[in-house]
Amino acid sequence: MTNTNHDDLMASRYGKKPVRNSRLKISIAAAVLLAVFLAWAAWVTIFAPPTVKASVAGYEVVDSSHTTIRFDVARPAGKDAVCAARVLDKAYSVVGYREILIDAGAADNKVFSVSVNTTQEGVTGLVDNCWLK
C-alpha cells in the first residue's frame, strides 16, 4: 500500500484532507503574520515621535532649602522642551520639584543649571522626565 492510497483511505474513512493542505495554510498564515509584524516594526521605527532625554551632570546641596542641579538635554533641533527636576531626601521622598523650560534657541550640548527650593535638606538631585512642549 502506498502513502497516497493510505491518505485516500483515511480521507474516505474519516473525512480528513491530506496533511499537505493544512501545512500550506499554516505556512501562508505564518508568512502573512511575519509581513504584518515587519510592516508594524517599520512604521514604529520611521514614524516614532521625537523624544527628549536628560542626563544629570551633577548636583550640589547648597543648604537645607536649596539644591542646584546641572544637566544636559538631548532634543530635536528647534523644539521647546520641559524637564522636571526633583530633589529627594534620605527616605527617597520628594522634597523639591521644579519644571524647567528649555528654549528652542538654546544651544545643543549646553549644560543647564537650575536651583530647586526644598522643604528640607535633600541628598540627591534628579532630572528624569522631559517632554516636548
Based on the domain organization, do 91 and 122 belong to the same domain?
Answer: yes
Q: What CATH number corresponds to the domain at position 79? A: 2.60.40
Write out pLDDT tens, residues 98-128.
999 988 877 666 889 999 999 999 999 999 8
Tell me which residue range forms the domain holding 42.
Answer: 3-46
Write out pLDDT tens, residues 2-41.
566 777 777 777 776 655 677 888 889 999 999 999 999 9
Based on the domain organization, do 57 and 110 belong to the same domain?
Answer: yes
Based on the domain organization, do 28 and 65 belong to the same domain?
Answer: no
Q: C-alpha cell of 33? A: 503574520
Return the C-alpha torsion angle 116, 128, 75, 38, nearest 10. Answer: -170
Counting the structural domains of the chain, the total is 2
SS3 100: strand
Q: Give the separation between CA 25 and CA 61, rounded to whole angstroms.
A: 66
Based on the domain organization, do 62 and 126 belong to the same domain?
Answer: yes
Q: Give the separation between CA 117 and CA 28, rounded to whole angstroms.
A: 62
